[in-house]
Amino acid sequence: MGLWAHPDTWPKDIPAFWDDAWKAIAEMKGLKSFRVALSHTDLWVWKPDHKSLVKLFQSMVIVRVQSYKVEFFWPVELDEVLKEIGEVPFSIEIKAT
């Protein structure tokens, strides 16, 4: 799943959609494995800021499955985000090129 939001609309158009999506995913009874791949295109040089990442992670923590991975396909510093959020139920991989 990629974030195709225009820089002027992030995060305004995302939270309502993503909050509902995470709730629906969390209700999937048979789900055992879940992978989220966050990417951007070369057309957009903008990336989510600290506040946007905190909001995104806060909505993602309700999903509880055996194997849960979040991948970022751009360089991102998450230390401060994770300090603010606390423990998360997913592993994080940064696959920046």
- For residue 1, the model assigns a pLDDT of 39
Residue 94: the pLDDT is 93
Cβ–Cβ under 8 Å, residues 66 and 33: yes
Cβ pair 59, 15 in contact under 8 A: yes
Check residue 7 and give its pLDDT.
53
Q: Where are the domains of the chain?
A: 34-94
pLDDT for position 8: 54
Q: What is the dihedral of CA 69, 88, 11, 93, to 10 degrees?
A: -30
User: In 10 A of CB 90, how many CB atoms?
Assistant: 19
- The pLDDT of residue 42 is above 90: no
| Reported pTM | 0.75
Average pLDDT over residues 50-71: 92
* Contact (Cβ atoms closer than 8 angstroms) between residue 62 and residue 86: no
C-alpha of 47 from chain center: 12
